Amino acid sequence: MNCETCQLKELELDPTEIRDVLRCVVHTIFFHRALGLVRPKDVDCELFEITYVQCGDAELEKKIDEKLEQFVAWSEKHPNRKSQVCLSFYEVKSKQSSWFGSKVERHYWEHWIVNVNVHPINPPRSSFLNNREKVLEETSTRRSALETSVREILFQIIKFANEKQEHIPPVTNTEVVSFPYEISTPR
Amino acid sequence: MAAQPDPGRSTEQIVSQFLSKALHAILAARIPFIHGPTIPTSRPPRKRDRWFHLALGDPPPALEHPSGLLPNGVMEPLVVDILLSPREDPTMPEAIVERWVAQCEVPAPWSPLHSPAESSSNSFLVKRTYKKSIILLRSIYSVLRLLPAQRVFKMLCASNQSYNYDLTYRVSSFAEPFSRKEEAEFRSHYFSPVETQYGQLAVSVQYRPSLSQFNLEISSLLPPMLITDYVGSPAADPMRTFPASPSERSATRSSISYSFRGSRDGRPSTSAPASAPLFNRPHSWTGAPNEGPSHRAQPAHQPPTGSQRKPTFNFDEFKFSPPFYMSPTPSPPKFSGSYMQSPLRAESAPVSIPQSGTSKVKGLRSPNLSDPTRNFLPPPSPKSARTAEPSSQDSESKSFRKPDGLRISDAYSNMYGTPKGPKDGKDDSGRFSLSGSPRFTFSRSSSRISVPDDLDDPDFSYPFAVDDVDSSDSQARSNDGKEALDFGHASSSHKSQDAAVGELVHMLKTAAPLRDSTYSSQSSKSELQEEGLGSTSSFFMSRMASDALDELQSYKNIKEMLLSQSRAKLHESLRRNN
């Protein structure tokens, strides 16, 4: 079975933006790959005027938040570095390795790689009173550019999720997240 | 051996349900208040929710029967236009902000996709079609939230204000193509098609990338008016019913007209019940909350040559008001013109308890400010209203749905009998108008307050938030042993009277201890002498003490009078009961 990989466009984030942006991206991926019965839940981003959709599964939300917290903690220890958050879907297959036992293997069939460049965005040090408006304007410009990038990434996810479907295994259970998955963060 | 399901029928059912669900998702994300209350998570998923593993809740009445959506079968395209309709100026044209097109396209004969699927792989194809349809629906659902119109939708839903625009929709099987100039204003997004036995199920959307040209602002439709009997006003009768929102009131003036030109088609529809209408003509229907009879005349249109569609496409459109079909959310309490005609009442500001035992204290009437069953506060926002009042909304939305569903079915039944007529003939046999007034006067506003008819003591003050209890309640309370104070009016408030008595007692108890006048004068004299003040001060002090004593006596008299009156009333009521 083929394994498809989707490399998403790189995001330049301030540490304060990591959670909001990555939550939006990861949930959108899950919404397109969790093929069980979902009750969609609209969620508004905190920092942008973007509404994305969650699957409405509390356990999934909790796991995603845990992983994102791990990533945030890592990025605080390793500032100004490019990194990746990888969401992978796999199948579990048992392989007869010897006469006496079988080995469980994971056959990954899809990887979603979220490229992130985290670096604090510091306003230029100058006279605060004189450049306050300028600083606000630059922040606003940067934020709207980031919002545009996030939108592009969401459309990229939707496009990939629709175009690449042949490799998706059949749905065998009725759970919300119908396929086992793994979220990998740098260590 | 069990009979295998017919793959062709399964595919048709999948496509039909897909189009219905896609339309449901589009309307739920674009038309304010068309959707019912949020699906409670505890509710088990219904059969309808299980389609494509996407639980969207109950569809609007028009989508109850997917067969009615595509009377000519699944090969008919579904075109959904989302429009911004100006509210204040009906002469201004509506503007399409989004156009969704979903259709099953038969591949060209020379296309490699044209080769018929082998019978052995039909079931596999059906499963693959279904799986891909699930993902396609998820994509549609996501894209709906990413397009610019989503922001407008959220504004119209979230705010209790009325804006100068409404979001409406138009569903048809064919739509006039955009002009070149219009085409340039739109962007397109094409979803990857899903292969089916009948062809490729393709969905696309054309949308305006920016809606800034529409100055969406709060409507100034309502003229400024002085509201005297506002919610919570002392003059307002708690039982008074306030009318619906201005949008609903304006909709009462609109009529809903359906016009059909249809004919019976002998082709059976596999996915429809036996009584479903079958046509060889497309139809369209729109949703416009505040419009009158349909003024839009859609010209008969010849499809482009080479198309595999049927050559004649004439459609009439009818408009109804989906927001008021459903209208699940309470609208803010708005006041009609009749309120302006009501006499202005001079309302005094709340003051303290009257100090004299005179008959100034007559009728204690106070608004029902503390009774939780009478909501004086503005209704919550639609979202919170949906979550806060699920049961009432369920019942009310259902009461909406049933008559509307029946009306729609009547509309369809009218279509059965229409004979095959000329393509552009005006056939009024199927036309009927639906008066929206019963529906529109239904107000989901939770502020049902009645104006008292006999407030004849404008100078009386209501210092406390009390309940307005009628005589039956007073009897009940007296039977419970509570003191009921009645100042001579059936609608007197016992709680306020109790509170008044309580306040009196409290004042009496907490009043500064009054010394003996001689002692006080002597003590005050000594104090003043000590302080070096003159005899006039001592006289003044004794004067204050005597006044206080008089006041105390008057309070005691008032108290005794009140108590005696209440006892008399209590005895009377007991005698009546016996």
Alpha carbon distance A176, B563 (integer Å) = 68
Residue B305 and residue B173: Cα distance in Å, rounded? 17
Of B310, B281, B353, the residue nearest B503 (C-alpha) = B353
Report the alpha-carbon distance of residue B316 to residue B283 in Å, rounded: 6
Q: What are the structure tokens assigned to B223, written together?
A: 């003229």
Nearest Cα to Cα of residue B231 among B378, B372, B341, B350: B378
The confidence score (pLDDT) of residue B468 equals 42
- Cα B97 to Cα B91, B94, B317, distances in angstroms: 18, 9, 19
On the 0-12 / 13-18 / 19+ scale of CB atoms within 10 A, A98 is: exposed
The answer to whether the CB atoms of A162 and B145 lie below 8 A apart is no
Nearest chain A CA: its distance from B470 CA (Å): 46
Residue A155, chain B, CB below 8 Å: the answer is: yes
The full set of domain ranges for chain B reads: 7-35+47-108+119-211
Chain B interface with A: residues with Cβ < 8 Å: 39, 41, 45, 49-50, 53-56, 127, 131-132, 134-136, 138-139, 141-143, 145-146, 150-151, 154, 189, 191-192
B222, B367 Cβ separation under 8 angstroms: no
Task: Compute the distance between CA of residue B141 and CA of residue B138 in angstroms, rounded to an integer.
Answer: 5
Homologous superfamily of B7-35+47-108+119-211: HORMA domain (3.30.900.10)
Q: What is the pLDDT of residues A101-143, one digit of tens each?
A: 667 888 999 999 999 999 887 655 555 556 778 888 888 888 9
Residue B206, min C-alpha distance to chain A (Å): 15
Does the beta-carbon distance from B192 to A159 stay under 8 Å? yes
3-state secondary structure of A110: strand
* pLDDT computed for residue B209 by the predictor: 92
CA–CA separation, A123 vs A107, rounded Å?
46
Contact between A40 and B56 using a beta-carbon 8 Å cutoff? yes
Which helix (H) or strand (E) is B100 found in, with range?
A: strand B95-105
The whole-angstrom separation of Cα A185 and Cα A183 is 7
pLDDT < 50 stretches in chain A: none
Contact B424, B313 (CB under 8 A): no
- Per-domain residue ranges of chain A: 4-184
Question: Between chains, do B139 and A161 touch, taking CB under 8 Å as contact?
Answer: yes
Asked if the Cβ–Cβ distance from B135 to A161 is below 8 Å, we say yes
Q: How many CB pairs under 8 A join A and B?
A: 71
B253: left (phi over 0), alpha (psi -120 to 50) or beta: alpha
Measured from the Cβ of residue B477, the count of other Cβ atoms closer than 10 Å reads: 17
CB contact under 8 A, A39 and B142: no
Which ipTM value was assigned to this complex?
0.93
Please indicate if any CB of chain B lies within 8 Å of the CB of A180: no
Taking chain B (578 residues) in runs of 10, the rounded mean pLDDT of each run is 64 90 93 65 71 86 62 80 84 88 81 54 84 95 95 83 83 86 91 90 94 74 63 69 52 38 37 39 55 41 42 36 37 40 47 49 43 42 44 42 41 42 41 35 39 41 39 46 45 67 85 62 52 58 81 92 91 83
**DSSP conformational letter for A35:** -
* B440: phi then psi, degrees, rounded to nearest 5: -75, -25
Rounded to whole angstroms, the Cα distance separating B415 from B325 reads 21
- Domain A4-184 has what CATH class? alpha beta
Structure tokens given for A93:
């297959």
Segment holding B544, helix H or strand E: helix B535-577
